[in-house]
Structure 1
Amino acid sequence: MNFRTELKNLLVIIKGLDKKVVIVFISVAVLQTISWYYTSGRFYQTAISESPLVSPETASPEAELSRFIYWFLGDFGLLFLIPAFIIKFFFKEKLSQYGLRKGDYTFGLKASGFALVLMLVIVWFISALSSFSESYPTLSSARDDWNMFFLFEAALLLYMLAWEFIWRGFMLFGLEEKFNYYTVLVQMLPFVILHNGKPVLETFGAILGALMLGVLALRTRSLYYGIIIHFSTLFSIDAISILRYRTGEYGTGLNSILNIIRNL
């Protein structure tokens, strides 16, 4: 084997690659790696927190909230602002080409409404499982403080905007020209992998969720409806879990709904 010849051939192959596709893949890999190691709640707890040896479970409510805000705002910068910068100044394209527009709002709103009703029904039943309801909200102190809950959800909304943008905006639309509809499958893989460690039903659900949200984004040419569905689903999971926790009601029938309402 001639090393120089092999290197020369490799360089020829690299020069022939689609530069935009390469930038999308590499930037997503780099940004997600930075996110995992440096803007996560875990990094905040060990490197930034005033009490790094205190576990999240025993931290004060304020310290626990600070950890999540650091994570959500950090990822908003990494997964939204930086890809938006790349689109504007490297690709010289409009952000609207990557889903930041209303698109086919008639179809989008109908699809969102249908999905939300369906997800509310699903969430209602799976939240009755103790293994599921005990995991939410991830900010455990929000169970006893509605102000804490709404601050957490507001920060979560920014995070969801960034999360949808990196996968169903930057990656999906950035690779669409090269891979056509296969780009839905491409963005599904990292999305599902990043759900590993969550409750098993949520992780399996992420497979279908990623496919549906990817198809919806391409169909409507917009991210907004995916954000509505994704955030509203998480909000309902947290809210219903809190209501069950506060009222001690874990049934699934109509009487359970009435009991929750009566005991609010």
Structure 2
Amino acid sequence: MTDLETPRTGNPLGGLRGFAEELRLDWRSLWRRPEDQLAAKVLITSAVLLIVYALWGRPFFVNANLPAVAGWLGWEADHEYYSAVPYMYWGVSSVLIRILLPVLVILFWIHGRPSDFGYRIRGVTSHAWLYLLMFLAMIPLLVAASYMPAFQAKYPMYKGALSGWSHFGLWELAYGIQFLGVEGFFRGFMTFGLYPRFGYLSLLIMVIPYALVHVGKPPIEVFMAVPAGLLLGYVALKSRSWVFGALLHWAVGITMDSLAIWHAGGFRP
């Protein structure tokens, strides 16, 4: 077993000035090497954006203010898609908070290129077959999971999707846009941003908050988020892009919703 580097012990008798000096020196140690600076900036940004998204990016935020938000669209409570507004907001907020803001951080604080964080399409199609294989391997697992009562109670998350094709299509569009944010943030910004400092350990760091955002879903899905997140992150690093991961995630989501609707007996106009 290797020896672990332990933090320098501060002098509790040194008073506030001594503690402040210790804090200054330890803070400066975060910025010694370029990869340390990059990791520190990515982790600080990630912590802030995870909080922002949890507080203001999810559907429940709009649910609490639904009449006002729907009013901006000119929609009254009797509008056909009134109950879909929180989920439309969810898709937009996911892109703004989890893609646009990280890109701005990359450009203006990290001074890097978004393409180095997996924001690229060109040259990555050689790995498309692997994502297709992963999706095909998931289908039997999804079919088996769809028989669980917890699965059927959870999906589709927008219950209006049971009303017909127009609601289903609107929901899946918002759902897919939301998955762009998921993959862009976790498999893009976090994974690629931490890799220069931590190597493949960046996957283990990324998967911790990724698994936690699944809390509230069926337990089996929460636990499966760990290996799924690690695999998606690994393939993203190998392909230098997270984009196909978003398409895979979306395809899985559509399949899960379709299975849940099938178990419910189909659409209910």
TM-score (norm 1): 0.85
1:159, CA displacement in angstroms? 1.0
The CA distance in 2 between the partners of 1:44 and 1:171, in whole Å, is 27
Change (3 A) 1:247 1:151: closer
Aligned CA RMSD, in angstroms, stands at 2.1
Partners of 2:81 and 2:266 in 1: CA distance: 24
Structure 1 equivalent of residue 241 of structure 2: 222
SS in 1 for 2:101: helix
Q: Which residue of 2 aligns with 1:168?
A: 187
Q: Specify which of 11, 16, 29 is matched with residue 47 of structure 2.
A: 29
- Which of 67, 82, 86 is residue 49 of structure 1 equivalent to? 67
What's the offset of the Cα at 1:50? 4.6
Deviates more, 1:126-135 or 1:72-81: 126-135
Partner of 1:154: 173
Moved more, 5-14 or 160-169: 5-14
Tell me the alpha carbon deviations over residues 82-119 of structure 1, each in whole angstroms, 9 at most, x when there is no partner.
0011112222222111112234432x212111111111
Q: Which amino acid aligns with 1:143?
A: L
* Counterpart secondary structure, 1:10: helix
Q: Is it true that 1:19 corresponds to 2:37 in the alignment?
A: yes
Amino acid at match of 1:80: I
1:177 aligns with 2:190: no
**Is contact 1:80–1:166 with CA below 8 Å preserved after alignment?**
yes
> Where in structure 1 do 4 or more consecutive aligned residues deviate above 6 Å?
none
Correspondence for 1:119:
138
Q: Which runs of 5+ in 1 are unaligned?
A: 53-58, 249-264
1:174–1:137 Cα change, 3 Å: same
CA contact (8 A) 2:194 2:202 kept: yes
Q: Percent identity?
A: 26
Give the paired residue count: 242
Say if 1:45 and 1:51, in contact at 8 Å, map to a contact too. Answer: no
Q: Give the superposition deviation at 1:179.
A: 0.4
Structure 1 window deviating more from structure 2 (180-189 vs 61-70): it is 61-70
The alpha-carbon deviation at position 81 of structure 1 amounts to: 0.4
